[in-house]
A and B are shown apart, each in its own frame.
Chain A
Amino acid sequence: MIVHSGLYRRRRAGNAMFLTLSVFAAIFGIVWLTAILGSLFYNGFSAISPKLFEEMTPPPGSDGGLLNAIFGSVVMSAIAVAIGTPVGLMAGTYLAEYGRHGWGSFFVRFINDILLSAPSIVIGLFIYEIVVVNTPTTHRVCQAILGSWCPIGHFSGIAGALALTVIVIPVVVRTTENMLLLVPNGLREAAAALGAPRSRVIRAVTWKAARAGIITGALLAIARISGETAPLLFTAFNNQFWSTDLNGPIANLPYVIFQFAMSPYEDWHHLAWAGALLITAAVLGLSIAARILERSNRS
């Protein structure tokens, strides 16, 4: 054998070099990511105190917490999920059950995946244009129907929740469709053979079989919106005080983090870190829960 020829040695050396490079790539990536998490935990934990959950966002130079912002974020996310999940579930059901191979479904799927990764700031602009902007005619119609509940013409928690809803829907559509496709056709056929109408088959058999997966989708959607900042900047805006009025500007964690971090005040920076840690903890917790659920669904 001529294994010790120059060519062989060159190939061995090249192999060793590129494998080392890819190890370095992995180290490089892991170092950055741990640096980010490390500094987040370091700065965040030192700023965490019970006050965060008891007091309102302070003016510069005084003590305070994030209670109003946490409340606003939770309420808007809850509304967004409450509207977005059923819509997403129905649309995902259509794609997986009725129009699996249809041309129309192909188109919807394509649009949905675009919306899934579309810049969230554009979603914010969209809701700004249709809700926040004060156009006299729509305002008058809206006021005639909803009275003082009309959200058109000003920043409001409703507008913020709607912007988040637009982000929730594509996430739920995608996971629902994927999960429904995993349900074996035998189940559907067995139910149909018993004489169940199609809608009954879907609701009582397919949805039930994919339940864990559908909940996973909702959890992922919450995780996705809990850190979204851009769509809230010009919909929900911000509010320095405690407010439960969804028809007016409402405080929310991402906006507060943005505002406080960009400010020159030291104690605002601490609160921003604390808020960032809260959001990260929520997102990581939700994604881990989703992952566990998903695995139980697949097995």
Chain B
Amino acid sequence: MVDIVLSDALTSRAEAVRRFGRRDSLFRAMTALAALLVVAVFAGVITSLTIGAMPAIHKFGWNFLTSEVWDPVQEEFGALASIYGTLLTSALAMLIAVPVGIGIAIFLTEICPRPLRRPIGIAIELLAGIPSIIYGIWGLFTFAPAFQQTAEPWLIDLFGNVPVLQDYLGGAPYGIGIFTAGLILSIMVLPFISAVTRDVFETVPPMLKEAAYGLGCTTWEVMWRVVLPFARTGVVGGAMLALGRALGETMAVTFVIGNAHNIQKSVFAPGTTISATIANEFTEAVGDLYLSSLIEMGLILFFITFVVLACAQMMLRSLERRAGG
């Protein structure tokens, strides 16, 4: 009798252990599958865009990248104007946002009175989450008309007689255009850059700063010679991350870029970017070649942002390793 009960218990125990084991591996397999799904989505994006872009790739080849022609009627497409606009608006955005963002981070870590640091820091982080369409609608309704009437004519007049600059900063004040798009992008990525930079500044060991102060350095010298060199990787990584955002940004740009498919010297002229072209024209595109060309532009955009974001990650990862010790 006793024997039977015992063996019963033993078999049911073995049974339970096996059951646990099965559930365990099932759970593990499910998590692994979910992780693989992330990779599958990424691979799917590249594959589906490449397939969608095939007709345009066959038809135009490398010329697609170097041609400025965008003629839906004749079905002649080239992405140069859009690529140019994407790169130029993002460059303008970085030119403004990086120094200002670092300035804000210095302000927050060194100058700002202590009780204000947290609220301002939180406000900046919250602003980083505001959807880009808000920046777009503000740019279109509030900024562009004001800019057209005040600063833009003034700038054009100011540089009107300067030999080289008059080409780049001339023309008619439209309000919308490459410059406006770049400026709005810079405002959009500003919270992003300052938040990352501030976080990186805070990882600088206080000992380093104190040692420099002890040698008699001024605050500026400590920032420039100690903090910035120490935090360089992180700051560049954060800026690249912001650049990735700016390059792919759609709505903030589409509202204010003007959607003009040609390259003009003046930054005040209307232009277009890859994302703005796709957003504006995709649903109205008739004909396979037109659609395919837009998809190829999407593929180009994905490639550009991939390179930028991958660099950003390498830098931020190496930083994490260092911080982790």
Contacts and interface: CB of A to CB of B under 8 A. Distances in A.
* A and B associate: yes
Interface of A: 11-12, 14-15, 18-19, 21-26, 28-30, 32-33, 35-36, 39-40, 43, 87-91, 93-95, 97-99, 104-105, 107-108, 110-115, 117-123, 125-126, 128-130, 133, 166, 169-170, 173, 197-200, 202-203, 220, 223-224, 226-230, 233-234, 237, 254, 257-258, 261-262, 269, 272-273, 276, 279-280, 283-284, 287-288, 291
Contact of A119 (B44, B191, B302): B302
A199 B138 contact: no
A91 B131 contact: no
B23 to A, nearest CB: 6
Nearest to A96: B31
B127 A33 contact: yes
Among B101, B142, B245, B251, which residue has the most Cβ atoms of chain A within 10 A?
B251
Given A108-B38, A119-B247, A129-B48, A26 B107 contact: yes
Contacts of A291: 122
Given A90-B30, A114-B309, A99 B133 contact: no
Contact of A118 (B24, B110, B309): B309
A119 B305 contact: yes
The main secondary structure of chain A at its interface with chain B is helix
B190 A115 contact: no
Contacts of B136: 261
Interface string B18-57: 0011011011101111111111011011001101100000
Contacts of A115: 38, 41-42
A108 B27 contact: no
Nearest to B251: A229
Interface size class of B (residues with CB under 8 A): 35 or more
B267 interface: no
B202 interface: no
Interface in B278-297: 278-279, 282-283, 295
B89 interface: no
Interface of B: 20-21, 23-24, 26-28, 30-39, 41-42, 44-45, 48-49, 51-52, 99-104, 106-108, 110-112, 120, 122-124, 126-127, 129-138, 140-142, 187, 190-191, 194, 218-221, 223-224, 241, 244-245, 247-251, 254-255, 275, 278-279, 282-283, 295, 298, 301-302, 305-306, 309-310, 313
Contact of A269 (B102, B141, B278): B141
A276 B244 contact: no
Contacts, number: 268
A37 B51 CA distance: 42
Contacts of B122: 291
B52 A25 contact: no
Contacts of B51: 129
19 contacts: A14-B220, A25-B103, A28-B103, A29-B103, A29-B191, A30-B120, A36-B138, A36-B142, A40-B134, A43-B142, A95-B35, A99-B32, A125-B48, A125-B278, A129-B49, A133-B52, A203-B27, A279-B131, A283-B130
